[in-house]
């Protein structure tokens, strides 16, 4: 077995190990950073939904309003956990992978140095071989001189290669440990988030289950019937008396009176000016 060939192969194997790590860790880093960013965007979208749910709740009857607010709070809680997920992914998964870049660069510099030393040895050996063929007469003298030089180069190469092997072995050990730790952290972070989400959504489900639709409907029907039924009963007597009211129509305040104590709901409905509705309306894009 040829020691120079073996060394050369060994360095190539090391180069391959490092390049492979660079390639895949770079991809893991890039993909997990992207995964984290997309999780953050999901959080943003859900935060917007929370905001809209609260806005909508404020325009609805008390029962639905309370339900939607509680639901929105739960949804917001899930987003808080998602935010924690994002921060922890950044700190414990993406950042450690990013740090690998510098470590890889250092190891690659070590390999380059080792290759320079190896090339020096190879050149010495080539020189020796050429001289041996060109000058068969002075052969013994030249050989003994150059062999000393080649041996010195060989000692250098061996030392450097051994040092490199140790560096790469340490790199490999660190890599395997880090890989295990990073993905364990990833799994733990995701698991904690999903477990919290299950917990919060269970409570949200109860909130929605407890919604008393009938109460809101009675409320709505009472308002509609109150206005309409009252008007209907007074129709025949009112028709003529109404003629004395000057046009255009006066304020809408008459509408509120039959609701009695429910002024506050009427107020919150009135808070939203009609002209805003069209402008802020969003179509559902697919």
- Contact set for a second copy, span 227-246 (CB under 8 A): 227-228, 230-232, 234-235, 238-240, 242-243, 245
Q: Applying CB under 8 A, which of residues 80, 129, 138, 267 lies at the interface with a second copy? A: 129
Contacts with 21 (C-beta within 8 Å, 6 or more apart), sequence order: 100, 104, 171, 175
Asked if residue 30 binds a second copy (CB under 8 A), the reply is yes
Q: Is 284 in the site for a second copy (CB under 8 A)?
A: yes
The verdict on 35 binding a second copy (CB under 8 A) reads: yes
Peptide bond into 24 cis (omega under 30): no
Q: How far is the CB of 164 from a second copy (least distance, A)?
A: 10
Q: Does 205 bind a second copy (CB under 8 A)?
A: yes
Contact between 117 and 154 under an 8 Å Cβ cutoff? The reply is: no
Q: Is 48 in the site for a second copy (CB under 8 A)?
A: yes
Looking up tokens 């697919």 gives 286
- Round to whole Å and give the CA distance between 96 and 89: 10
Q: Which of residues 254-283 bind a second copy (CB under 8 A)?
A: 254-255, 257, 269, 272, 274, 277-278, 280-283
Q: Does 116 bind a second copy (CB under 8 A)?
A: no
Q: Rule CB under 8 A: is residue 180 a binding residue for a second copy?
A: yes
Instruction: Decide: 150 and 128 in contact? Cβ < 8 Å.
Output: yes
Decide: helix, strand or coil at residue 260: coil
34-42, 105-113, 134-142 -> range binding a second copy (CB under 8 A): 34-42
Residue of the chain from 140, 209, 260, 261 that contacts a second copy (CB under 8 A): 209
**63, 211 contact by CB (below 8 A):** yes
Euclidean distance between CA atoms 29 and 201, whole angstroms: 31
């Amino acid at each position: 077995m040829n020691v120079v060939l073996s060394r050369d192969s060994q360095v190539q194997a090391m180069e391959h190990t490092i390049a492979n790590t660079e390639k895949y860790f770079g991809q893991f880093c890039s993909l997990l950073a992207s995964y984290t960013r997309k999780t953050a965007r999901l959080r943003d979208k859900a935060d917007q939904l929370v905001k809209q749910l609260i806005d909508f709740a404020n325009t609805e009857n008390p029962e639905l309003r309370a339900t939607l607010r509680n639901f929105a709070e739960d949804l917001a809680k899930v987003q808080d956990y998602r935010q924690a997920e994002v921060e922890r992914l950044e700190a414990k998964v993406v950042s450690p992978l990013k740090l690998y870049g510098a470590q890889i660069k250092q190891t690659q510099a070590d390999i380059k140095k080792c290759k320079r030393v190896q090339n020096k040895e190879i050149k010495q050996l080539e020189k020796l071989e050429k001289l041996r063929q060109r000058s068969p007469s002075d052969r013994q003298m030249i050989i003994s001189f150059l062999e000393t030089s080649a041996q010195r180069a060989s000692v250098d190469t061996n030392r450097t290669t051994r040092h490199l092997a140790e560096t790469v072995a340490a790199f490999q050990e660190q890599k395997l440990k880090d890989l295990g730790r990073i993905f364990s952290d990833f799994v733990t972070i995701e698991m904690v988030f999903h477990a919290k989400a299950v917990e919060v959504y269970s409570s949200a489900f109860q909130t929605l289950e407890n919604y008393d639709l009938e109460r809101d409907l009675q409320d709505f029907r009472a308002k509609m019937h109150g206005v309409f039924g009252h008007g209907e009963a007074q129709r025949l007597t009112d028709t003529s008396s109404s003629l004395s009211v000057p046009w255009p129509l006066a304020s809408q305040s008459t509408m509120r009176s039959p609701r009695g104590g429910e002024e506050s709901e009427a107020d919150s409905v009135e808070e939203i000016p009609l002209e805003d509705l069209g402008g802020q309306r969003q179509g559902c894009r697919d």
